[in-house]
Amino acid sequence: MTADQITLTLPDGATRTYAPGTTGMQVAESIAKSLAKASVAIKIDGEICDLSLPINKDARIAIIRRDDDDALELIRHDAAHVLAEAVQTLFPGTQVTIGPTIENGFYYDFARDEPFSPEDFAAIEKKMKEIVAAGKPFTREVWDRQKAIETFKAKGETFKVELIQDLPGTEDIKIYKQGDWFDLCRGPHMKTTADVGTSFKLMKVAGAYWRGDSSRQMLTRIYATAWRNDKELQDYLTQIEEAEKRDHRKIGKEMDLFHLQDEAQGSIFWHPKGYSIWLALEAYMRRRQTDGGYVEVKTPQLMDSRFWEASGHWGKYRDNMFVVPDVVPNTEDGGKVFKEEPKHFMALKPMNCPAHVQIFKQGIRSYRDLPLRLAEFGCCHRNEAHGALHGLMRVRQFTQDDAHIFCREDQILSECIKFCKLTEAVYKDLGFEGTIVKLETRPEKRVGSDDLWDKAEAGLMDALKELGMKYEIAPGDGAFYGPKLAFIVRDAIGREWGCATLQLDFNLPERLDANYIGEDGGKHRPVMLHRAILGSIERFIGILIENYAGKLPTWLAPVQCVVATITSEADTYAKEVFEALQARGLRVELDVRNEKINYKVREHSLAKVPYMFVVGAREAAEKTVAIRTLGSQDQQFKPLDQALADLANAANPPY
624 - beta bridge partners? 639
* Residue 313 is a catalytic residue: no
Report if residue 538 touches RNA, rule: CB under 7 A.
Answer: no
496: nearest Cα among 432, 428, 424: 432
Residue 597 CB, nearest approach to RNA (Å): 5
402 is catalytic: yes
Judging by DSSP bridges, how do beta strands 561-565 and 15-18 pair with one another?
A: unpaired
Whichever of 356 and 524 has its CB closer to RNA, that residue is 356
Which residues contact residue 14 at a Cβ distance below 8 angstroms, ignoring those fewer than 6 apart? none
| Interface segment toward RNA; rule CB under 7 A; list 160-168, 208-216, 430-438, 517-525 | 208-216
Residue 209 is a binding residue for RNA (CB under 7 A): yes
The 3-state secondary structure of 598-629, one letter per residue: HHHHHHHHHCCCCEEEEECHHHHHHCEEEEEE
Task: Write down the catalytic residue from 195, 402, 505, 591.
Answer: 402
CB of 346 to RNA, least distance (A): 15
Cα gap 184→294, rounded to integer Å: 57
Beta carbons of 530 and 502 less than 8 angstroms apart: yes
What secondary structure does DSSP assign to 492-526, as a single string? TTS-EEEEEEEEEESSHHHHTT--EE-TTSSEEPP
Residue 485 touches RNA, criterion: CB under 7 A: no
Q: Are 536 and 543 in contact, with CB atoms under 8 Å apart?
A: no
* By CB under 7 A, residue 239 contacts RNA: no
Position 494 contacts RNA (CB under 7 A): no
Does position 652 interact with RNA (CB under 7 A)? The reply is: no
Q: How many CB atoms lie within 10 A of CB 346?
A: 19
The active-site residue out of 248, 288, 349, 404 is 404
396 is annotated as an active-site residue: no
Are residues 106 and 74 in contact, defined by beta-carbon separation less than 8 angstroms? Answer: no
Stretch that binds RNA, among 81-89, 172-180, 219-227, 371-379 (CB under 7 A): 219-227
Q: Is 248 a catalytic residue?
A: no
* Nearest-approach distance from CB 306 to RNA, in angstroms: 16
Instruction: Give the binding range for RNA (CB under 7 A) out of 37-45, 69-77, 574-582, 631-639.
Output: 631-639
Q: Which residues between 308 and 337 bind RNA (CB under 7 A)?
A: 313, 316-317, 320-321
The distance from CA 89 to its chain's CA centroid, rounded to whole angstroms, is: 37
3-state secondary structure of 379: strand
| Interaction between residue 476 and RNA (CB under 7 A) | no
> Phi/psi at 405 (nearest 5 deg)?
-105, 120
Tell me the residue type at 106: F
Q: Is residue 389 near RNA by the rule CB under 7 A?
A: yes
Interface with RNA (CB under 7 A), residue total 68
From 529, 612, 644, 647, residue interacting with RNA (rule: CB under 7 A): 612
Give the CA distances from residue 564 to residues 244, 464, 608, in Å, rounded to whole numbers and listed in that order. Answer: 31, 51, 15
Q: Is 514 in the site for RNA (CB under 7 A)?
A: no
Which residue among 97, 192, 199, 220 contacts RNA (CB under 7 A)?
220
Q: Given the rule CB under 7 A, which residues bind RNA?
A: 115, 117, 204-209, 212-214, 218, 220-221, 223, 249, 253, 260, 262, 265-266, 313, 316-317, 320-321, 350-351, 382, 384-391, 394, 479, 503, 566-569, 594-599, 601-602, 605-606, 612, 614-619, 626, 628, 630-631, 633-635
